A and B are shown apart, each in its own frame.
Chain A
């Protein structure tokens, strides 16, 4: 993050309010050219609003939106070097597929031949080579989606904005489109900013994720970072499944929860600081009562194809979700086991900057750690 290259899009302390309602609070980020970014959050978190600020449908109440270092707050939408793929596609029903895709090139007064080449290329990119003469209402949802992508890309945008483009598709089609979008992004090498509320989608596609809630960027990082090191309760819950229990950091590398002390790999907190402890279901495993770090009773077990999802409860009444390949009968007492590095500690109200600083500090102190 210390590169000197000018970010293609940057937000500088952007606030946005509608009347008394603050929709975005102090949004500050930078986006590098050529990568796949995802804005991830529940509905109303402000993620689509950020897209609208980039595409020019909204202006910030305060702060600046920058394109390659230039403030573009008041650039009209039609002059911005970005294009949008809308959630409901917003294809022009009075035009056929070809004319929809040719809409942008024609506005730029490209010659008929150049327009045709462009449209053919774009339809090839989205695998709709033979659909140029179709009417929009003759297409399936998935095909309309592809036309919408082709239409936006035909304008040669520097940045492509995608506003929950896959949410209307069925599961299988959505999976296919995820892979294809990633492929298209790599092939064209332009910047994609993708908005979704689907964490699985975000983890699968992105180079970099911004997790949003309540108009604030809660955390940003690579999919692995965000999954492995959620910064707070919201992120831990929103990204993947989590077991979250209250605990205390007695000292560096020693956590205390559900009445026991556990060795772990976190440090830099105050002694005996109250924290939250996160254990991912897939990091937990079932074992014998003697070998278990915790003892739980199985409440429920459901078969998920490649694993069993187990609900269990410990003697203190904490519920534990476990993903395991070992089957156990309901009602049986079993041991829960996990490794020190599976324990993730979250401090209350720790900001991302504080989190990064603390991480840097204690990783420096511990050079023997790989």
Chain B
């Protein structure tokens, strides 16, 4: 009986995987190799790798994804650590998760309201006599909003990793003569690394292909591969090249996952 039930699950899972993961990937691959003349070629890839424009975009994508991940990590780790020390952890965690229930586009528009020329932040600055500034459509506002959106996905895995650490280990470390800082560096940080890696995966990979935030908040001043894909599919209708960029992004994501995988065999 038991094996039959697990087979049923496997069929559903396998079917899902086939239809929504493997088939689209194969379609994407086929489209990136199909130049319209009926036979397959690497022309699209050649075009990508010989174009300074695309390489700049690729570099920008990775660079900004890296910066966004870094900013997110720097904010999220202390936050997760702080929450893990609190009494009402679940409540504080809920506050962190709550924004993820709101539609991404809605949040992005809210930031436009906050950061625009006549927005709340500028009014506040003007009220303080600091004058108004160009906040929207800057690299900084782009990173701020991207980080804001990604923070919950970084905090959660780090928080989970931190709460899994036996509190006795910190006591043992201090008992052996380590200060609070040394205990954190030698015991807590290494043991929370699986959470950090999971968080980096959850943030870096989606950040590679952001396009809505780049346009709405960054004002397309930073053009990443995500923007390029959108342009090729919706504007220039060059699906072949769009698919090629998609494949390259997937490849970049695989590299990111390999770099951040958990090497420890449990």
Specify which of B168, B175, B178, B191 is in contact with A88 (CB 8 Å cutoff). B168
Taking the nearest CB of chain B, how far is it from the CB of A320, in angstroms? Answer: 45
Cβ of A86 under 8 Å from chain B? yes
Question: Is B131 at the interface (CB under 8 A from chain A)?
Answer: no
Out of B174, B182, B191, name the residue touching A77 (CB < 8 Å): B174
Q: Contact mask B146-185 → A, CB, 8 Å, 1/0? A: 0000000000000000000010110111111111001000
A252 smallest CB distance to B (angstroms):
52
User: Could you tell me the distance in whole angstroms from the C-beta of A64 to the nearest C-beta in chain B?
Assistant: 21
Query: Could you say which residues of chain B place their CB within 8 Å of the CB of A104?
Result: 176-177
Q: Is B46 close to A, CB under 8 A?
A: no
How far apart are A222's CB and chain B's nearest CB, in angstroms?
Answer: 29
Instruction: Output the least CB separation between A40 and chain B (Å).
Output: 22
Interface centre among B166, B177, B179, B186, by most chain A C-beta atoms within 10 angstroms, is B177
Interface residue B126 (Cβ < 8 Å from any Cβ of A): no
Identify whether the interface residues of B are mostly helix, strand, loop, or mixed.
helix
In contact, A155 and B191 (Cβ under 8 angstroms): no
Chain B nearest Cβ from A362, distance in angstroms:
47
A151 to B175: give the CA distance in the assembly, Å: 11
**CB <8 Å contact, B172 and A94:** no
Whether A84 lies near B177 (C-beta < 8 A) is: no
Which residues of the partner chain A approach B169 to less than 8 Å between Cβ atoms?
Answer: 90, 92
Give bound CA distance, A83 to B266, whole Å.
30
Q: Which residue of A lies closest to B189 (CB)?
A: A94
List the A side residues contacting B191 at CB < 8 Å: 92-94
Q: Which residue of B172, B177, B179, B182 contacts A86 across the interface (Cβ within 8 Å)?
A: B172
Given A86-B168, A88-B168, A107-B182: A94 touches B187 (CB 8 Å cut-off): yes
Asked if A55 CB lies within 8 Å of chain B CBs, one says: yes
CB contact between B187 and one of A57, A84, A92, A137 (< 8 Å): that residue: A92
Asked if A57 and B176 sit within 8 Å, CB to CB, the answer is: no
Residues of A contacting B176 in the complex (Cβ-Cβ under 8 angstroms): 78, 83, 103-104, 107, 151-152, 155
Question: B190 an interface residue at 8 Å Cβ cutoff?
Answer: yes
| Contact digits for A51-92, partner B, Cβ 8 Å, 1 yes 0 no | 000011100000000000000000011110001101010111
| Known contacts A78-B179, A103-B186, A107-B182: A90-B166 contact under CB 8 Å | yes
Contact with B along A133-146 (1 / 0, CB 8 A): 00001000000000
Q: Is A108 part of the binding interface, using a Cβ–Cβ cutoff of 8 Å?
A: yes
Q: Give the contacting residue for B177; candidates A91, A93, A94, A108; CB below 8 A.
A: A108
Which of the residues A84, A108, A137 comes within 8 Å of B175, measured between beta carbons?
A84
Interfacial chain B residues near A155, Cβ < 8 Å? 176-177
A90–B171 alpha-carbon span in the complex (Å): 9
Task: Select one of A76, A90, A107 contacting B168, CB under 8 A.
Answer: A90
Within 8 A of B (CB), among A160-185: none
Across-interface contacts of A93 in B (CB, < 8 A): 191
List the A residue with the shortest CB-CB distance to B180. A78
Instruction: Return chain B residues, CB-CB under 8 Å to A55.
Output: 175
A108 to chain B, nearest CB (A): 7
Query: Shortest Cβ distance from A155 into chain B, in angstroms?
Result: 6
A268 to B133, CA, bound (A): 94
Query: Beyond the given A78-B176, A88-B168, A152-B175, could you list 14 further A-B residue pairs with CB under 8 A, ordered by the A residue number?
Result: A56-B175, A57-B171, A78-B177, A83-B175, A83-B176, A84-B172, A86-B171, A86-B172, A103-B178, A104-B177, A107-B182, A151-B176, A152-B176, A155-B176
Closest 3 CB pairs of A and B: A90-B172, A90-B168, A94-B190
26 contacts between A and B (CB under 8 A): A57-B171, A77-B171, A77-B175, A78-B174, A78-B179, A79-B177, A83-B175, A84-B172, A88-B166, A90-B166, A90-B168, A90-B172, A91-B172, A92-B169, A92-B173, A92-B186, A94-B190, A103-B173, A103-B176, A103-B186, A104-B176, A107-B177, A107-B178, A137-B266, A151-B176, A155-B176
